[in-house]
Chains A and B, each alone.
Chain A
Amino acid sequence: MSMPTLLHMTAPSREDFDIPYHDIGPAHEAPRVALVAGLHGDELNGVFVLSRLASFLRRIAGGARPGAELRGRVIVVPAVNVLGVNVRSRAWPFDGTDVNRMFPGYASGETTQRIADAVLRLTLAARWRIDLHSSNADFEELPQVRLYQPSDEEREAARWLGLPAIVERPESATFAATLVSAWRTQGGRGLAIQAGHAGSLQSGHCERLFRALLDFLEAEGVLWGVRLAESEDSVHHFGPRQAFPVISEHAGWFVSRLKVGQWLRAGDRVGFVYDGFSGEQRAEAKTPVAGLLSGIRRQPLLCEGDLLARILTGDEVGEVAETYLMGHGQ
């Protein structure tokens, strides 16, 4: 199967490599939706889901599913950081740069600036763009839509995905160099999705993401006749000051039995911290606020100041949590 390529590049000591993508649906139309994953090579949920979605959409476009139709053109880039996926690296492996800190990119610039420029040029023509991420390998995120100073239209479209949480986050100087930020700067509609953690596949999150993207394509009118069973999840919308980070002031081992998506009461246990050497319990970590557990630490080794959990609350609970974003995907 011959695929269009986002970028073709020579390599120093091996075959040339491409960043391929899927272009599915009516070729004469402008793309309605562009879906991008794998800007970080170790965030596998998005890469897997988009490759499966591309296969599904192709079968529909080919008439393999009677009664279902693909009525619009969809661009699908399962992995931008191809080399990163192959060597399991978040960053572009050759020089360690983060592709999602290189936007809007520069066609004559450094390697990852060129990649960023090509991604942006490909996706700008689409009416809707969605960028899929996981957190890093240490922290699991509930599948959620993340919005950065969104328009009303983006707020509304975020609901089409049917994911359990829509979280508005503050825009920071760091995120000014991301794909989602570049989409907004260039004028257009864009959403970011976070689901699960890097380094492995979480099949439950993948299924939910797959369903969410089909729902989105149906709501946008791109897809017809494949609507799956209604999700039982209700969608909750949280503002930029409604994310509460539970931080550990102790180092050691962190052990938790909680699952993302649980609702917690103020004072509920989040987990235990044990001394790394003696094995003695050092602390019982509790959440001081009630809300939806949108993220939980999966890495047991804990430094002083590490993030244990993130709770999305009904109340405004404090400062803008930009400080706690670093190292957690996207």
Chain B
Amino acid sequence: MRIRRETFFSLELPYRERLALERTVFEGGPGPRVAIVSGVHGDELEGLYVCHRLAAWCEALEKTRPEALLGQIELYPALNPLGLDTLTRSVPIYGVDLNRCFPGHAEGLLPHRLAHGAIDALSGAALVVDIHASNVYLREIPQVRIARAFADRLVPLARGMNLDVIWVHEASTVLEHTIAHSLNAAGVPCLVVEMGVGMRVTPRFADQVVIGILHACRRLGVLAPDVELESATHAPLVAHDGNVHYVNAELSGLFVPDAAHWMAVGRGQRLGRIVSPLGGEALAEVRSPVEGLLFTLREYPLVYEGSLLARIMEVSR
């Protein structure tokens, strides 16, 4: 096994520095490649920790069974390094969402060049896992999101990923410029994993996802069939636009939840209250519209009218 840490793309900044995209490549035999991508949004850190845990696992494998790596595992932890450096979701200077710039352009602006460099590097992979961490407002249970157009190919891949939810959704036209859409449209399977919350790391979610990724690597022949892995402990439920219900704030204030993330809730059950910081009164009670599982829960308490408070996947007990 060979371990390479390398710059795969760089460009010049105004004053002395270069913006460099780094990757770590664990190179075994000539088998398939699996790539893990994170940090497309500079305020999402969960994927960086997943990369760390995978790197630790691969480094341990190198010491114990290096021949068990039949293909290649590639880690791209920070596709938006300026965003990560500055706690900024978008690409600083340009103010654009890098995940609306794919497939990019070799002669475009900086975000498009970054996107193009990433697509170029990922081309030919047997699987790309693009890890997101929601945003600073919402906490998500580990899940994979799949546009319906790619569901036939991706849902079977996602089933063994040790995740809690597979959400098959109708994609809006804006999402055609995401890294996942660009790769899937080009024939490179890409799973979008959402987990945790922005600007934080949730180690138990990361460990869960690492197990899923390693199982996928073994199934795809990146790892030897007899390599020992921790057992998968999560089987996904399938969400779709018909069974996902959104709960939005009808008033502005502070949202204080009663319910815990990923708990089962009944129709009409109170999920929390919106209270006023200017007075002692509760402005509103927030209740579940259906019986189901609370798979998205607001983390950031301040809410405006319309702010998303929760998503509930309808399931019957």
Give A residues with C-beta under 8 Å from B: 9-13, 90-91, 94-96, 101, 108-114, 136, 173-174, 176-177, 247, 250-253, 276-277, 301-307, 323-324, 326-327
Complex interface: chain B residues within 8 A of A324 (CB)? 108-109
Complex interface: chain A residues within 8 A of B246 (CB)? 109
- The digit string for B125-151, where 1 denotes a CB below 8 A from any CB of A, is 000000000000100000000000000
A-B contact pairs, 21 of them (CB 8 A): A10-B251, A10-B305, A11-B304, A12-B277, A12-B304, A90-B95, A95-B304, A113-B306, A114-B306, A174-B177, A177-B172, A247-B107, A252-B14, A303-B11, A303-B14, A303-B19, A305-B109, A324-B108, A326-B96, A326-B111, A327-B95
Most buried by B among A10, A108, A114: A10
Say whether chain A's binding surface is mostly helix, strand, loop, or mixed.
loop
**Is the pair B15, A303 in contact by a Cβ cutoff of 8 Å?**
no
**Is the pair B110, A95 in contact by a Cβ cutoff of 8 Å?**
no
Is B174 part of the contact surface with A, judged by Cβ < 8 Å? Answer: yes
Complex interface: chain B residues within 8 A of A250 (CB)? 12
Complex interface: chain B residues within 8 A of A253 (CB)? 14
Shortest beta-carbon contacts, A-B, top 5: A251-B12, A111-B306, A276-B15, A304-B12, A323-B108
Q: Of the candidates A12, A108, A109, A136, which one forms a contact with B252 in the assembled complex, judged by CB atoms under 8 Å apart?
A: A12
A86 to chain B, nearest CB (A): 15
Q: Of the candidates A90, A96, A177, A323, which one forms a contact with B89 in the assembled complex, judged by CB atoms under 8 Å apart?
A: A96
**Is the pair B308, A11 in contact by a Cβ cutoff of 8 Å?**
no
Is B100 part of the contact surface with A, judged by Cβ < 8 Å? Answer: yes
Are A12 and B109 CB-contacts (below 8 A) given A251-B14, A327-B96?
no
Q: Nearest chain-A residue to B104 (Cβ)? A: A323
**Is the pair B308, A307 in contact by a Cβ cutoff of 8 Å?**
no
- The digit string for B280-317, where 1 denotes a CB below 8 A from any CB of A, is 00000000000000000000001111111000000000
CA A326 – CA B100 in complex, angstroms? 10
CA A326 – CA B246 in complex, angstroms? 31
Is B62 part of the contact surface with A, judged by Cβ < 8 Å? Answer: no
